[in-house]
């Protein structure tokens, strides 16, 4: 761990705290913002894993609760217990239903890996469509699309399932990383994979963990509930167009010299033969995830999405699709659970101390003279372009989303529910713009098939394309509904 990465976050927090509180904001709220800013900087720099950063931030907030969490009026109440109230706030995220939904979906992803179903789906599509390089791109897309609704980690889905399969394909055509031969087929495949997962991460609420975190922050900040099906219908028109265009656009821009050949289907056929027939665990998992998807779409009136996830986990344990030991060893799931539980509480603290309403009123006054549509476009552009500053969608959501929500909600006439949905629908597609923009990006960047100049060029082009589709299709579609 580099010392400056560990020292810079608390230093920034202390410097902010020493500044006078802005007019209209209580000193304790300003001090809490200083602590929150230090946590966000630490999430970006990662001197420690995200879960550890969140836990440390919560612990410091509890210790300093008298100075950062509670107003003088609260402290003056007879019988008010600062330690108990602060601890109850700090632990509130661990009982949050959204955090448990994220955890449950990670268990779905683990089941895909343990049973081999995810790899089987990817290989089957490669076998059927791999004779043509262009069609192979659509096979990669199809594998990600099939896994996306049940895999909230695009890192697990794309970097953990798709990448290990497609990394075997370039050598079949002597396409090597960090070599002119990478353009034969390797660069094409890798870019299709990363740019595709950014679109599927937008299409489904449960395809990206920060999506679900964003839904919870929307509920807490502006009291709007975003349902799975409403999200899907809002994202569908633009995402369908982008999914159809990604392999073709990449094919035009990169022009792989290998156009077709029998080697890839033959290799996939051999790998499927090694896997053998569909196992009972794979069949059960298919039934469980289909049932979960049906209940998420149609069962919201009588069973919550989180309960569905917990029910499926119980069924997988009972039928030994996964075991309790495997569940306990799933470090990614438990790490994400701790990470998001702490971030939900920390982000909630900004509203609790009054920082978000103050900021919204202050910034909103500068946008008040604009039309609702112009103000909305400015907020959406800010949300998208600010992602250049973040190496984590989670950090972006935690730091930026509550503020933009509050600013938008303070603008007279702003349709808050549609504004909130539109801000959330940018979270997946914004990951395409940089080599660090979303979880799997560093994996593809580090593959050697997408060196820096190529990645930044394609990221810029696809960022413009994705933004154009969003503003020309998604925004009018959502605002008209």
Opening angle at CA 72, ends 25 and 77, nearest 5: 145
Q: Which DSSP string do the residues of 289-358 spell out, in sequence order?
A: HHHHHHHHHH-TTTS-HHHHHHHHHHHHHHTTSS-HHHHHT-HHHHHHHHHHHHHHHHHHHHHHTTHHHH
pLDDT top residue among 420 and 265: 420
Other beta carbons within 10 angstroms of residue 225's beta carbon come to: 11
Q: What 3-state DSSP class applies to 132?
A: strand
Sequence-separated contacts (24+) of 373-378 with Cβ below 8 Å:
373/479, 375/408, 375/411, 375/414, 376/408, 376/414, 376/419, 376/422, 376/475, 377/471, 377/475
Q: What 3-state DSSP class applies to 260?
A: strand
Closest CA to 107 of 393, 394, 311: 311
Note the pLDDT tens digit of each residue in 383-424. Answer: 898 887 666 788 788 878 888 898 888 888 889 999 999 999
Note the pLDDT tens digit of each residue in 211-243. Answer: 988 998 899 888 899 988 899 999 999 999 999
pLDDT top residue among 199 and 178: 199
CA distance 321 to 253: 43
Alpha-carbon 351 to chain mean position: 22
260-299 in b/e burial notation, b at 16+ Cβ within 10 A? ebeebbebbeebbeeeeeeeebbebbeebbeebbebbeee
Q: Of the ranges 126-135, 291-300, 430-439, which one carries the lowest mean pLDDT score? A: 291-300
pLDDT top residue among 47 and 315: 315
Top-ranked range on mean pLDDT: pick from 103-107, 199-203, 306-310, 381-385: 199-203
In this predicted structure, what is the pLDDT of residue 452? Answer: 77
In this predicted structure, what is the pLDDT of residue 341? Answer: 82
Confidence class of residue 250 from pLDDT cuts 50, 70 and 90?
Answer: very high
CA distance 271 to 444: 23
Torsion, Cα of 240, 242, 243, 248 (10° steps):
140
In this predicted structure, what is the pLDDT of residue 204? Answer: 93
In this predicted structure, what is the pLDDT of residue 158? Answer: 81
Q: Which DSSP string do the residues of 135-171 spell out, in sequence order?
A: HHHHHHHHHHHHHGGG---HIIIIIIIIHHHHTTSGG
CA distance 372 to 367: 9
pLDDT top residue among 190 and 185: 190
Q: Domain spans of the chain?
A: 1-95, 97-332
pLDDT top residue among 4 and 168: 4
- Model pTM score: 0.71
Rg, C-alpha atoms of the chain = 23
Confidence class of residue 126 from pLDDT cuts 50, 70 and 90?
Answer: confident
47-81 in b/e burial notation, b at 16+ Cβ within 10 A? bbebbbbbbbbbebbbebbeebbbeeeeeeeeeee
CA distance 235 to 475: 10
In this predicted structure, what is the pLDDT of residue 314? Answer: 92
In this predicted structure, what is the pLDDT of residue 306? Answer: 78
DSSP 474: I
CA distance 163 to 146: 15
Strand partners, 132: 260
Confidence class of residue 96 from pLDDT cuts 50, 70 and 90?
Answer: confident
SS (HEC) of 409-465: HCCCCCCHHHHHHHHHCCCCHHHHCCCCCCCCHHHHHCCCCCCHHHHHHHHHHHHHH
Closest CA to 146 of 105, 207, 187, 91: 207
CB 252 within 8 A of CB 137: no
CB 152 within 8 A of CB 207: yes
Whether 1 shows a pLDDT value over 60: the answer reads: no
In this predicted structure, what is the pLDDT of residue 300? Answer: 63
CB 432 within 8 A of CB 402: no
């Amino acid at each position: 761990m580099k010392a400056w990465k560990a020292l810079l976050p608390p230093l920034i927090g202390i410097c902010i705290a020493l500044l006078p509180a802005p007019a209209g904001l209580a000193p304790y709220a300003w001090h809490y913002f200083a602590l929150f800013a230090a946590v966000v900087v630490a999430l970006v720099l990662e001197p420690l894993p995200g879960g550890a950063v969140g836990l440390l931030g919560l612990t410091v907030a509890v210790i300093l609760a008298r100075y950062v969490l509670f107003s003088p009026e609260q402290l003056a109440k007879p019988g008010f217990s600062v330690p108990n109230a602060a601890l109850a706030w700090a632990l509130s995220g661990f009982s949050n239903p959204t955090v448990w939904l994220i955890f449950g979906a990670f268990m779905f992803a683990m089941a895909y890996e343990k049973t081999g179903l995810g790899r089987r789906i990817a290989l089957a599509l490669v076998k059927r469509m791999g004779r043509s390089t262009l069609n192979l791109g659509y096979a990669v897309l199809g594998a990600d699309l099939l896994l996306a609704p049940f895999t909230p980690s695009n890192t697990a889905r794309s970097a953990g399932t798709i990448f290990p399969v497609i990394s075997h394909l370039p050598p079949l055509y002597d396409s090597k990383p960090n070599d002119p031969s990478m353009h034969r087929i390797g660069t094409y495949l890798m870019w299709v994979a990363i740019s595709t997962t950014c679109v599927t991460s937008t299409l489904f609420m449960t395809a990206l963990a920060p999506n679900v975190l964003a839904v919870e922050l929307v509920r807490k900040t502006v009291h709007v509930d975003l349902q799975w099906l409403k999200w899907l219908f809002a994202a569908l028109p633009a995402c369908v167009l982008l999914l159809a265009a990604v392999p073709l656009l990449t094919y035009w821009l990169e022009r792989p010299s290998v156009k077709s050949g029998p080697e890839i289907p033959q290799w996939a056929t051999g790998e499927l033969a090694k896997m053998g027939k569909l196992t009972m665990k794979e069949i059960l998992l298919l039934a469980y995830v289909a049932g979960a998807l049906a209940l998420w779409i149609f069962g919201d009136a009588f069973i919550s999405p989180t309960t569905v996830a917990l029910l499926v986990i119980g069924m997988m344990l009972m039928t030994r699709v996964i075991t309790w030991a495997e569940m306990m060893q799933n470090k990614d799931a438990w790490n994400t659970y701790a990470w998001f539980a702490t971030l939900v509480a920390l982000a909630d603290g900004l509203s609790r101390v009054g920082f978000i309403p103050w900021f919204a009123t202050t910034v909103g006054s500068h946008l008040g003279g604009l039309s609702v549509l112009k103000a909305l476009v400015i907020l959406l552009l800010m949300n998208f372009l600010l992602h250049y500053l973040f190496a984590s969608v989670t950090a972006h959501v935690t730091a930026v989303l509550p503020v933009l929500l509050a600013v938008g909600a303070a603008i007279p006439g702003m349709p808050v529910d549609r504004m909130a949905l539109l801000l959330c629908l940018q979270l997946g597609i914004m990951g395409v713009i940089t080599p660090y923009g979303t979880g799997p990006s560093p994996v593809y960047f580090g593959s050697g098939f997408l060196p820096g100049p190529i990645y930044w060029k394609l990221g810029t082009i696809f960022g413009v394309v994705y933004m154009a589709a969003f503003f020309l299709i998604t925004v009018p579609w959502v605002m008209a509904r």
